[in-house]
Chain A
Amino acid sequence: MANAFGIIFANIHDDALPQLTQNRTLGAVPMGGRYRLIDFILSNMVNSGISSVGVIARNNYHSLVHHLGSGKEWDLSRKFGGLTIFPPYATAGAGLYHGRLEALKTVLSYIVRAREEYAVLADSNVILNIDLAKVLEYHEENDADVTCVYQNVDLKEKNAKDRVLYEIDGEGRIQAVLADPRTSEGNVNNSLGIWVMKKDLLVRIIDDAQNTGKQSLERDVLGQRCQDWKILGYGFDGFVEQVRSVPGYYRAGMALLNADVRRELFPRERPIYTKVHDESPVFYAPEAKASNSLIANGCRIEGTVENSILGRGVYVAKGAVVRNSLLMQGVTVAEGSTVDCAIIDKGSYVSPNRNLSGAPTYPIVVEKGSRV
């Protein structure tokens, strides 16, 4: 059992996927056929021995609440701790929160009451399988004030927009925090949006932020305190995708077709948990063709599916072809239609003999419940 509780920000990057987050928080966006984005970090916490997790939602949180329920599927339906979902808590004179610090302010009493000594904070847009117990161990062993999880990446283009980068010295200490840098390139340390600190320090940070009007945890707090606090970087070199844009979401989805990625992301000893839906097994008709694809239960395949990920209950009719696409729950592709490089949101219907085609770098997005 870890001596830490978890806080997950369910909405922070909503604007990254405007078409997919109109009716849901980013954390509730489907991924990998049967998961939601939040399942990854939430399961990571549970598998690392964290048994008390608060999820902070801001708006459009119905599907998130529906998905998480009592937390039973993550083994978080507990007498002590367990899962707590925080819908917006607006006090007089305060509207919805913006940055993480304001979000944390709304759950201050939860944090103060927590019995654990450490807090693990995380965004919900990150797809990975990390042993957070090791991060906690590293944090304690090195007597750090804050430990930030990052990955060293090679930025191909001179644009790190929407990323936060850390400058780290030879001793692993973060010397500078670059939020939204537009000029970085080459080898950089990219923040994964996962932080560990003592609960007491977190409470101090929240109090201070309120008094001084700070909004951004990374830019306004960590970035300003590099010299007087011991802020360490913890490098993670496994598979990671952070969802920051539509093409990025598409790339993350398609990455799961790689067997090595699946082995790393879904190891037997650290499963990714999700809500169970009791769908029947996939039915493949005599004329079905399916290759290099992930196909969730409840699907009915009469046509052709290639290089795609199909969510629960998708119907691919006779003569229909689905290629290089991500189809969410309950999508129907009617007879004779072709779908290529598309992201089709929940419950949409592609009429017979249509041709829907995008490009890998710019996939078409069909919004939830559309008729094409």
Chain B
Amino acid sequence: MIQKKKCIAMLLAGGQGSRLKVLTKNVAKPAVPFGAKFRIIDFPLSNCINSDITVVGVLTQYQPLVLNRYIRTGDPWDLDRLYGGVYVLPPYQQNSGADWYKGTANAIYQNFPFIEQYDPEHVLILSGDHIYTMDYSKMLEAHERANADATVAVIDVPWEEASRFGILATDEEGRITEFQEKPAQPKSNQASMGIYIFKWSKLKEYLERDEADPASSNDFGKNIIPAMLGDGQNLFAYSFHGYWKDVGTIDSLWEANVDLIFHPDQLKINDPEWKIYARNPVSPPHYTGNKASIKNSIVSEGGSICGKVEDSVVSYKVDLKEDSEIYGSVIMQHAVVEAGAKVYNAIIGEGAVIRKGAVVGAPAKGDTPTITVVGPGCTVNEKETVPAGEIIDREETKKEGTNNG
């Protein structure tokens, strides 16, 4: 049965995220843990439900197992619905043959039948690699008010960084006049956030045309938006003011995590009016030991914190033994840090083990620390020293039961 929805969301979650190195060896980027109890995808999914968007198609193709197991019926996000809800949409074989998703636009093209079920007026395109909270319903309102064919969310970036982004030039009414992909001479400092709302009828037309062009790389930023702009379609920018971070690199992932401690006012994860939902295994509150010292940190459930923790983000079911020391680090779920081990400015992956007396990373020289990474499930041996900036990627030695997330 078809139940008409005004706007549905399509979330691009297929990227490998190779710049996150060992952290995306076995999971897609959107499934990478973040902020002690979340995964990156919790942010766009929670934004959807909080914005009253109740149909979300999640397009996956790289290492989808963890993501699939994580999303399941969508119940943590209240997206287990009689009509709509969340669907994981991998590429599939068709009568005409089978293709991987060739690009972001092609991923949507291959899922026309999914979208048509809901007969939407608008389609919201999201990506699964950004940390931010945003009310998409306000963007939809602006999109409708302007009678736009497409609306692109933009955020002001520092001028000196503008050449790293897709930059949009607009007139006084917010109409997009030019789009520059990573320009050497940017005409504005409004960067595209990779969030688009299209009139479905227009998007369909342009996706079909794009698909027929063998030279196209089937990408929203590179092909669809420039093509629409070239045809003089009604394209508007929607300015977003707030915290937004691409967590596509080790450094930016670490930064966004510690922003939760140093700038809690910028990215709120405890707003009762805008909750960020996650699927977490049920566990008791975390225990703080007799000799524990926890300062300027966030800690989630189920773990045992008996060492010293400063300026760090500690996820659920983490075991920090007595006399362990953690500074400026992100400790993901099920990790263990044994007695006498010291961890500085590091990301410790899910289920990793730091044995007794080992030292991971080094205190920062100057303002910006060099981030060290211990991959999920990897072990750092007793008294081993892992120099700052190293990325440990070893055979997994320990399998943790992480069925629930």
A: which residues have CB within 8 A of B? Answer: 32-35, 72-73, 256-257, 259, 262, 266, 268, 271-274, 276, 278-298, 305, 309-310
Closest to B310 in A: A286
B282 x A274 contact (CB < 8 A):
yes
Tell which of A33, A72, A281, A310 has the most Cβ of chain B within 10 Å.
Answer: A281
B296 x A286 contact (CB < 8 A): yes
**Do residues B295 and A284 form an inter-chain contact, with CB atoms below 8 A?**
yes
The stretch of B119-127, B198-206, B269-277, B386-394 in contact with A is: B269-277
Q: Is B363 an interface residue (CB 8 A)?
A: no
A296 touches B285 (CB 8 A): yes
Contact flag A271-B283 (CB < 8 Å), given A278-B277, A291-B289, A297-B300? yes
Instruction: Establish whether residues B289 and A309, one from each chain, have CB atoms under 8 Å apart when the complex forms.
Output: no
Ordered nearest first, which 9 A-B pairs have the shortest CB separation? A33-B285, A280-B270, A296-B285, A281-B36, A281-B300, A281-B298, A290-B288, A294-B285, A286-B296
When the two chains form their complex, are residues A276 and B293 in contact, meaning their CB atoms are under 8 A apart? no
* Cβ–Cβ < 8 Å partners of A278 in chain B: 76, 275-278
Let me know if A297 and B288 touch, CB within 8 A: no
Tell me whether B286 and A295 are in contact (CB under 8 A).
yes
Say yes or no: is B35 at the interface (Cβ < 8 Å to chain A). yes
Q: Which of B208-223 contact A (CB under 8 A)?
A: none
B231 to chain A, nearest CB (A): 44
Give the distance to chain B from A58, nearest Cβ to Cβ, in Å: 28
* Cβ contacts under 8 Å, B314 to chain A: 281
Measured between C-beta atoms, what is the minimum distance from A280 to chain B in Å?
Answer: 4
Apart from A262-B287, A278-B275, list 10 A-B contacts with CB within 8 A: A72-B75, A272-B282, A274-B282, A280-B276, A281-B313, A283-B261, A288-B295, A291-B289, A291-B292, A294-B284
Chain A residues, CB < 8 A from B277: 278
Q: Check B269 against A262 for contact (C-beta < 8 Å).
A: no
Interface status of B370 (Cβ within 8 A of chain A): no
Q: Does B290 contact A (CB under 8 A)?
A: yes
Query: B285 contacts A290, CB within 8 Å?
Result: no
Select A284's contact among B287, B290, B296, beta carbons within 8 Å. Answer: B296
- State which of B37, B76, B285, B288 has its C-beta within 8 Å of the C-beta of A280: B37
* Residues 288-314 of chain B, each 1 if its beta carbon lies under 8 Å from chain A, else 0: 111111111111110010000100011
State whether B284 touches A262 (Cβ < 8 A): yes
Asked if A310 contacts B285 (CB within 8 A), the reply is: yes
- Distance (whole angstroms) from the CB of A80 to the closest CB of chain B: 19
Distance in angstroms between the alpha carbons of A276 and B296 in the assembled complex: 26
Contact assessment for B297 and A284 in the assembled complex, using a CB-CB cutoff below 8 Å: yes
Q: How far is the CB of B326 from chain A (nearest CB, A)?
A: 12
Given that A72-B75, A298-B270 are contacting pairs, would A291 and B288 also be in contact in the complex, using a CB cutoff of 8 Å?
Answer: yes
Q: Give bound CA distance, A300 to B264, whole Å.
A: 12
Taken together as a complex, chains A and B put the C-alpha atoms of A256 and B287 apart, in Å, by: 10
Given A72-B75, A276-B280, A283 contacting B298 (CB threshold 8 A): yes
Docked CA distance A251–B299 (Å): 26
List, in ascending order, chain B residues with CB within 8 A of A32's CB: 284-285
Q: Is B158 an interface residue (CB 8 A)?
A: no
Q: A262-B287, A286-B295, A291-B292 are in contact. Are A271 and B301 (CB under 8 A)?
A: no
- Whether, in the assembled complex, B401 has its beta carbon less than 8 Å from a beta carbon of chain A, the answer is yes
User: B282 contacts A292, CB within 8 Å?
Assistant: no
Structural contact, A297 and B37, CB atoms closer than 8 A: yes
User: Separation in Å of the B317 CB from the closest CB of chain A?
Assistant: 9
B residues 247-271 in Cβ contact with A at 8 Å: 261, 264, 269-270
Q: Which of A282, A294, A298: most chain B CB closer than 10 A?
A: A282
What would be 15 A-B contacts, judged by CB atoms less than 8 Å apart? A32-B285, A34-B285, A259-B304, A268-B401, A278-B276, A281-B269, A284-B296, A286-B296, A287-B295, A290-B288, A291-B288, A291-B289, A294-B287, A295-B299, A309-B285
For B288, what are the chain A residues with a Cβ–Cβ distance below 8 Å?
290-295, 305
Chain A: CB-nearest residue to B301: A297
Taking a contact as CB atoms under 8 Å apart, the answer to whether B284 and A283 are in contact is no
A292 to B297, CA, bound (A): 17
User: What 1/0 mask marks residues of chain B from 186 to 201 whose CB sits below 8 Å from any chain A CB?
Assistant: 0000000000000000
Chain A interface main SS type: loop
Which of A276, A292, A294 touches B290 (beta carbons < 8 Å)?
Answer: A292
Query: Nearest-CB distance from A85 to chain B (Å)?
Result: 20
- Nearest CB of A to B186, in Å: 36
Is A293 a contact partner of B284 (Cβ separation < 8 A)?
no
CA distance A283 to B298 in the complex (A): 5
Give the chain A neighbours of B401 by CB distance below 8 A: 268
CA gap between A271 and B281 in the complex, in Å: 9
Set of chain A residues within 8 Å of B76, measured between Cβ atoms: 276, 278
CB-CB under 8 A from B300, the residues of chain A are 281-282, 297
CA distance A266 to B283 in the complex (A): 8
Asked if B293 and A289 sit within 8 Å, CB to CB, the answer is yes
Contact residue among B270, B294, B297 (Cβ-Cβ distance under 8 Å from A279): B270
- Among A276, A284, A309, the one with the most B-chain Cβ atoms within 10 Å of its Cβ is A284
Q: Report chain B residues within 8 Å CB of A295.
A: 285-286, 288, 299
The closest CB in chain A to the CB of B287 belongs to A294
Cβ–Cβ < 8 Å partners of A294 in chain B: 284-288
Q: Nearest Cβ distance between residue B81 and chain A, in whole angstroms? A: 14
A293 to B288, CA, bound (A): 5
A318 to B300, CA, bound (A): 21
B290: A residues at CB distance < 8 A = 291-292
Q: Could you say which of B269, B288, B290, B300 has the most chain A C-beta atoms within 10 Å of its C-beta?
A: B288
B269 touches which one: A256, A274, A280 (CB < 8 A)? A280
- In chain B, what residue has the closest Cβ to A290? B288
For B264, B283, B284, B290, the residue with the greatest tally of chain A CB atoms inside 10 Å of its CB is B284
Given known pairs A276-B76, A280-B37, the reply for A34 and B284 (CB within 8 Å) is yes
Q: A293-B288, A294-B287, A295-B286 are in contact. Are A281 and B35 (CB under 8 A)?
A: yes
| Residues of chain B lying within 8 A (CB to CB) of residue A282 | 286, 298-300
* A294 (CB) vs chain B CBs: closest residue: B285
Give the CA-CA distance A262 to B285 in the complex, in Å. Answer: 11
Q: Find chain B residues with CB under 8 A from A257 CB.
A: 287
Contacts of A72 in B (CB 8 A): 75
A312 to chain B, nearest CB (A): 8
A292 with B284: in contact, given A278-B277, A284-B298 (CB under 8 Å)?
Answer: no
Assembled-state Cα–Cα distance A228/B20 (Å)? 72
B282 and A276 within 8 A (CB): yes
Specify which chain A residues have a CB less than 8 angstroms from the CB of B264 in the assembled complex. Answer: 283
* Bound complex: CA A276 to CA B37 (Å): 13
B36's nearest neighbour on chain A, judged by CB, is A281
Chain A: which residue is nearest B271 at the CB level? A280
Most chain B CB neighbours (cut-off 10 Å) among A273, A274, A283, A298: A283
